[in-house]
Amino acid sequence: MEYVLQKEKQEAERKRVEAQGIADYQKIISSGLGDKQLQYEQLQVMKGLITSQNAKVIIMGGGKTPMILDGKN
């Protein structure tokens, strides 16, 4: 039983370390993302969708998020 408790404590510590790493990552990303970076990321995603054989993209004007339709609908 002591072995089981030790394993559970190690798993809890691993999860704490993972959660702290995720929190640090999110803090770094959120402080560095500006409007230009977000626009660039959006363009990269749209480029990937446009070249996909399984999706069609309708780009709305005025900076709106595109509506994505798959060929099954």
**CA distances in angstroms from 65 to 14, 22, 32, 49, listed in the order given:** 38, 27, 22, 13
Percent of the chain with pLDDT over 90: 32
Model pTM?
0.46
Find the domain containing 44 and state its range: 2-70
SS (H, E, C) 2-69: HHHHHHHHHHHHHHHHHHHHHHHHHHHHHHHCCHHHHHHHHHHHHHHHHHCCCEEEECCCCCCCCEEE
- The model's pLDDT over 47-58, given as tens digits with 9 standing for 90+, comes to 887 777 766 666
Q: Which residues of the chain have pLDDT under 50?
A: 73
* Bridge partners for 58 per DSSP: 67
Domain count, the chain: 1
